[in-house]
Amino acid sequence: MEDKSKQTINTRNPINIRKMFDSIAPTYDLLNHLMSLGLDIRWRKKAVACLPFKKNGTILDIATGSGDVAFEILKYNPYRIVAADFSINMLDVLREKIHSPIHPDSITFTCCDAQSLPFQNNVFDATLVAFGIRNFPDRLVSLREMFRVLKPNGISIILELTKPKGLIISQIYSFYSRSILPVLGKIISRHKSAYSYLPESITIFPDNEEFLSMMEQAGFTDTNATLLTFGTATIFVGRKS
């Protein structure tokens, strides 16, 4: 019988990507923390700190995964968070995390595709995507959707893994991501291809200048990029004028 875990993931096929995230949902948090040496926690905090509408704001958390960004935003007492993801299993993990003391009425769930958001125009103060946009088959379409659902003067924050700057750190990162990360990912999640896919998805992600240009094509203004940890992650910001 063929071992499906060894198949290469077609990054242009959203069905394959959804199946992958459904499969790794139970171990997603642990793997993120281990494989980033805990840096993903700090990076998310920095991304959320960029939101000017945290308190009393209405925020859309796209590709919420298991909800780490949503819970970070909840600390600021927003009016409402909509946590959206196309993986039902990921949303199930998020639901299991919610307990009554954590303002459960402030967060709602939506299973949807980021390229076709089921919301009216001009309804959110901010959108945020953490480690998700590189998985979207058509990033420009998803950026236009983010722009569409934002209120005027709203802001979009995108946190993504990126190719590090500098020769030495690039070589270290390449060795880690291509040799160590897939092995560690397979041991913990038992899904080899998911963590072989990760370094590949980072490699094909546009460089910062190209991605900022894509944001501008989608309509955003005042775009900028902030490198984190030698450029292994980047925060992209755009505003709807």
Interaxial angle between packed helices 28-35 and 14-24, expressed in degrees from 0 to 180 and rounded to the nearest 10: 90
CATH of the domain at 156: 3.40.50.150
**Which residue type, as a one-letter code, is found at position 168?**
I
| Mean pLDDT taken over the chain | 86
Question: In terms of residue numbers, what domain contains 152?
Answer: 4-239
Residue ranges of the alpha helices (H) in the chain? 14-24, 28-35, 39-49, 68-74, 88-97, 139-149, 167-175, 181-189, 192-203, 208-217
Q: Compute the distance between CA of residue 124 and CA of residue 81 in angstroms, rounded to an integer.
A: 9
pLDDT digits (tens, 9 = 90+) for 103-160: 556 889 999 999 999 999 999 999 999 999 998 989 999 999 999 999 999 999 999 9
**Cβ contact 11:137 at 8 Å:** yes
Total of domains in the chain: 1
* pLDDT at residue 194 greater than cutoff 90: no
Check residue 180 and give its pLDDT.
81
